[in-house]
Amino acid sequence: MRIHLTSVFVDDQAKAERFYTDVLGFVKKHDVPVGEDRWLTVVSAQDPDGTELLLEPSGHPAVKPFKEALVADGIPAASFAVDDVKAEYDRLRGLGVRFTQEPVEMGPVTAAVLDDTCGNLIQIAAQAG
């Protein structure tokens, strides 16, 4: 068994598509109209056949309070692996990305947390190795 698809709820799919592709560097995999919304997935440019991330609309009534509670508590909705957190932090800051947590070493893991502009906090992390 392996993870094929996971999702983050986004406030605006078009805005999320731009952020996740143009800023974070993911690649669009699927973009299928589904009523007023889209089945919109992105994948890692380094692993185009790997796990897909669905940029899922936040329309369900339970989503808004759930996302707001996570953000208020500083809890990331997802965690993405990077090779070098400090280098990725610097690159993303240069693109105007707002971080809620600068890179922090926590034993064998270094992590930072960013605002995805679509209602979520996202962690980037790397294991020492």
User: Which tokens is 58 given?
Assistant: 């936040």
CB-based contacts of 33, cutoff 8 Å, min separation 6: none
DSSP secondary structure string for all residues of 75-93: --SEEEE-S-HHHHHHHHH
CB of 121 closer than 8 Å to CB of 76 = yes
What is this structure's pTM? 0.94
Strand boundaries in 4-74, DSSP class E:
5-10, 27-34, 37-43, 52-57
Domains of the chain by range and CATH?
A: 5-127 (3.10.180.10)
User: Which tokens is 35 given?
Assistant: 């009523």
pLDDT of the residue at 114: 98
Give the pLDDT confidence of 103-121 residue by residue, as tens digits. Answer: 999 999 999 999 999 999 9
Give the pLDDT confidence of 47-98 residue by residue, as tens digits. Answer: 999 999 999 999 999 999 999 999 999 999 999 999 999 999 999 999 999 9
